[in-house]
Structure 1
Amino acid sequence: MKTFNWATLGCGVIANELAQAMQSRGQKLYSVANRTHEKAVAFAEKYGIEKVYNSIDELFEDENVDIIYISTPHNTHISYLRKALKAKKHVLCEKSITLNSEELEEAIKLANENNVVLAEAMTIYHMPIYKALNEKIQSGDLGELRLLQMNFGSYKEYNMKNRFFNRNLAGGAMLDIGVYALSFVRWFMTSCPNEVLSQVKYAQTGVDEQASILLKNKEEEMASVILSLHAKQPKRGTIAFDKGYVEIFEYPRGQKAVITYTDDGHTETVSEGETKNSLLYEVEDMEQTVAGNADLMHLDFTRDVMKIMTDIRKEWGMTYPEEE
Structure 2
Amino acid sequence: MTKQSKHKIINWGIIGLGNIANKFAKDLITIKDAQLYAVASRSQEKADDFASTYNAIKAYNNYEALVKDSNIDAVYIATPHALHKENTLLCLEHGIAVLCEKPFAMNAEEVSIMISKAKEKKVLLMEALWTYFLPHYQYVLQELNNKTYGNILKIEADFGFYREFDDTTRLFKKSLGGGSLLDIGIYPIFVALSTLGIPKDIETDATFFENGADSSCSMIFKYDHEITANLKSTLLEKTPTEAIFYCEKGTIKINSGFFMPTTVTIISNDKEKTIDFNYKTIGYNYEALHFNDLLRKGKTESDIMTFNFSKQLIKLLDDVRTHIKLEY
TM-score (norm 2): 0.91
The counterpart of 1:196, out of the listed 202, 205, 218, is: 202
Corresponding position: 1:102 with 2:109: yes
Aligned to 1:145: 152
SS at match of 2:165: coil
- Pairing of 1:117-196 with structure 2 (within 5 A): 117-189=124-196, 191-196=197-202
Distance (Å, rounded) in 2 between the aligned partners of 1:128 and 1:271: 10
After TM superposition, give the deviation of residue 162 of structure 1 in Å: 1.8
Partner of 2:246: 240
The 8 Å contact of residues 124 and 184 in structure 1, kept in 2 or not, is answered as no
Which of residues 112, 122, 127 is equivalent to 1:115? 122
Consecutive unaligned residues of structure 1, counting only runs of 5 or more, are none
Secondary structure of the structure 1 residue equivalent to 2:190: helix
The structural deviation recorded for 1:247 is 0.9
Unaligned runs of 5+ in 2: none
Aligned: 1:68 with 2:57: no
Residues 155 and 231 in structure 1, CA contact (< 8 A), matched pair in contact too: yes
- 1:311 lines up with 2:319 in the alignment: yes
Counterpart of 2:160 in 1: which secondary structure? strand
| Residue 20 of structure 2 is aligned to residue 14 of structure 1 | yes
For the Cα contact (< 8 Å) 2:115–2:307, is it kept in 1?
A: no
**Equivalent runs, 1:47-62 vs 2, <5 Å:** 47-62=54-69
C-alpha displacement of 1:3: 2.7
Is the CA contact 2:27–2:281 (under 8 Å) kept in the aligned structure 1?
A: no
TM-score relative to the length of structure 1: 0.92
In the other structure, the counterpart of 1:82 is 89
Instruction: Tell me how far apart the structure 1 counterparts of residues 246 and 115 of structure 2 sit (CA, whole Å).
Output: 34
Given residue 290 of structure 1, which amino acid in structure 2 is its aligned partner? Answer: L
Cα offsets for 1:224-261 (capped at 9, x unmatched): 11211111111111111111111112101133111111
Separation in structure 2 between the aligned mates of residue 108 and residue 219 of structure 1, nearest angstrom = 34
Q: Deviations over 1:139-176 (max 9, x none)?
A: 33211111100111110102222222211222111001
- Detail structure 1 runs of 4+ shifted over 6 Å in the superposition: none
Q: Deviations over 1:36-69 (max 9, x none)?
A: 1210011111222111224211122222211100
Q: Distance in 2 between matches of 1:117 and 1:273?
A: 31
User: Distance in 1 between the 2:248 and 2:308 partners?
Assistant: 27
Contact 1:289 1:297 in 2 (8 A): no
State the secondary structure of the residue aligned to 1:200: strand
1:296 equivalent in alignment to 2:304: yes
Q: Give the alignment's Cα RMSD to 1 decimal.
A: 1.9
Corresponding pairs, count: 317
2:229 equivalent in structure 1: 223
Q: Please give the alpha-carbon distance, in whole angstroms, between the structure 2 residues aligned to 1:76 and 1:128.
A: 30
Question: Any conservation in 1 of the 2:180–2:217 contact (CA below 8 Å)?
Answer: yes
Q: Aligned pair in 2 of structure 1 residues 275, 93: CA closer, same or farther (>3 Å)?
A: farther
Distance 1:186 1:58, change over 3 A: same
Deviations 1:258-308 (A, max 9, x none): 1111xx311232333527341111110111222337723344332211101
